[in-house]
Every structure is written in C-alpha cells, then in structure tokens.
Amino acid sequence: MRTDSLAAIDVHVHIESDGHGCFSLDDELMAASAKYFKSDDDRAPSLARIADIYRELNMAAVVFTVDSGTFTGHPALSSEGICDAAREHADVLIPFGSVDPLRGADAVAQARRLVGEHGARGFKFHPSLQGFAPNDERFYPLWEEIQALGVPALFHTGQTGIGAGLPGGRGIKLRLSDPMLIDDVAADFPSLNVILAHPSVPWADSAISMATHKANVFIDLSGWSPKYFPPNLVRNANSLLQDKVLFGTDFPLLTAQRWLRDFEALDIKPDVRPKILKGNAARLLGLDR
C-alpha cells in the first residue's frame, strides 16, 4: 500500500455480505439500520465492490464485520474469509478481524489466529450488538491477547442504528456502548491502542475526556455526517485532539463522498485536515513505516 499517494484512510467500513447470499445481520435488523440512516444505496456491497469504490476514490479502507452470533443468534460472516480476501486488494483494503467475546477462550484463540495466520491488522467490537460490557473482567484475557498481538481494538460507542425503531430495540442495550466502560480497558491495558468509534452521542464529552487523558485512546469520526458533530468535538479535533481523531464513514451507511462534502464545511485548520484524513490513521496502523 502506497500511503503517500492516498488521499485519505477511512478507518470504519463494514463488510455486510459475503457475496454469496449471507449477511452480517438478519433481515429485520438490516432493514432497521437502513431506515435509520436513510440509506437508499446498496446496503451490502461485496468486499470486491468496496475495494473498487475506494480504489476509484484513491483511498484506503479498514474493513471488518461484527461477530455477534451468541447474542443475536445470527451466524457471523467469516473474519478469516474477509482477511484472506482483502489480500487480493492490499493496495486499498486493511482488514480487521472480529471475534465474539462471549465465546471466552475460543475468542482469544481465534484472535491469535486471525493476526498470525490471516493478517488481521486490528479488531472491531460492538458491545451493544454483541451483548457484553467491555470492562467485565471475564473479557480481560481477550484484551490482554490483543495487546500482546500489538494491534488496535476498535469499539462501537454511543447510539446505534441497529435495532432503532423496533420494540425494545430488539433487546440491544445502549448503555453497553458507553465509552466510560472502555475507559477501564484503556487504563488496565496501557499498551492496547483503543479507537472509540463514532462521536459517542450521547456521551461525546466522555470520549473527548478519555482521548485527552489517555495516550492510547483515539476517536474515529464515523457514523455521523460532520455537519452534526457536537461543537466540543470539532473544537478539540482542531486543538488538543488533532493527533487523536481519525476519518471514518461507517460505509455503506454513509459514503465517503457525503462525509467529505460536509467535512469541507467544518472550520478545521488547514494543517489539521491532513492529519484527520490520513496522517493519524497511517501512524496508528503502522502504515507510515
């Protein structure tokens, strides 16, 4: 991957389909998230199609699925398959794995294999969708393993469109994605780089505090159009956190074109923009070496 010639690195892109009729969510949850985001485009493009899209944009993309099989009862897409397929598009795709924390020691072993045998460059977790509290010490062996592997952990935080508008939100509990639960993880595993996905609404100030306080905590700006970012997040991205915030879209629910169009309208300093769009991610992911 020639990062010097890339326009940007999108650190938050979902693989929702294996291209053979299997999807990451069941029909009801898929439809609810599409309605929440007013997504009229292809809701589940294949990995190869995503590679083509980002190649045309001259961008790289961190790609992943979410393994929530235990909590939702829906079979997960194969992280091994995603990582292996991404090798064919190594010029634009950076694969993250996903393991189900509720699977205990099996999840730890899978994480080790995903990095060692399949080239995963990090891991994605969605506490609300996976039904676990990140600071529960039952999951500490998993964080210890990922720390030892030397790759980052990306956690969904804040509101989620998955289950939105359904009775009881389909049992998905928002409090599990309070970033302060992840503060315990960041404190107890100081060599584990933690990325807080999204502006963390309604806990944006908590995420800002964490990223300010802890050297190993970062924020990705995915899932929200920049025109809706909380003002405090914009202020800190322009100042204290200019080296800690990362461009991300939440594609396919939000496209890079729309995100970048609205980002142009933000009052971001000229020297900070390239850090957010590429520099910070390249450094965090070890792509600048």
CA-to-CA distance for 160 and 37, rounded, in angstroms? 10
Position 36 pLDDT exceeds 80: no
Q: Say what the pTM is.
A: 0.95
Region 209-222: mean pLDDT is 98
Kindly list the structural domains of the chain, giving each domain's residue range(s) and its CATH number in brackets, ordered by start: 3-284 (3.20.20.140)
Q: What is the pLDDT of residue 41?
A: 58
pLDDT for 18: 80
Comparing 23-32, 54-63, 88-97, which segment has the lowest mean pLDDT?
A: 23-32
Percent of the chain with pLDDT over 90: 85
pLDDT band at 19 (very low <50, low <70, confident <90, very high): confident
Tell me the mean pLDDT in the region 29-53. Answer: 80
The owner of tokens 């091994």 is 80
Q: Is the pLDDT confidence value at 40 over 60?
A: no
Q: If you average pLDDT over every residue of the chain, what do you get?
A: 94
What is the pLDDT averaged over residues 225-249?
Answer: 97
Which of 34-48, 96-110, 205-219 is predicted with the least confidence, judged by mean pLDDT?
34-48
For residue range 91-124, list pLDDT tens digits in order.
999 999 999 999 999 999 999 999 999 999 999 9
Alpha-carbon gap, residue 36 to 164, rounded angstroms: 7
Distance CA 19, CA 111 (A): 24
DSSP symbols for the chain: --GGG-SEEEEEEE--B-SSS-BSS-HHHHHHHHHHTT--S-SS--HHHHHHHHHHTTEEEEEE----HHHH-PPPP-HHHHHHHHGGGTTTEEE-B---GGGTHHHHHHHHHHHHHH----EEE-HHHHT--TT-GGGHHHHHHHHHHT--EEEE-S--STTTTSGGGGG--GGGG-HHHHHHHHHH-TTS-EEEES--TT-HHHHHHHHHH-TTEEEE-TTS-GGGS-HHHHHHHTTTTTTTEE----BTSS-HHHHHHHHHTS---TTTHHIIIIIHHHHHTTTT-
Residues 224, 229, 235, 238, CA torsion sign: positive
Structure tokens at 26: 């069941």
**C-alpha pair distances (Å), 113 with each of 71, 91, 121:** 23, 23, 12
What pLDDT sits at residue 203?
Answer: 97
pLDDT at 31 over 90: no
Please state the φ and ψ torsions of residue 37, each to the nearest 5 degrees. Answer: -90, 0
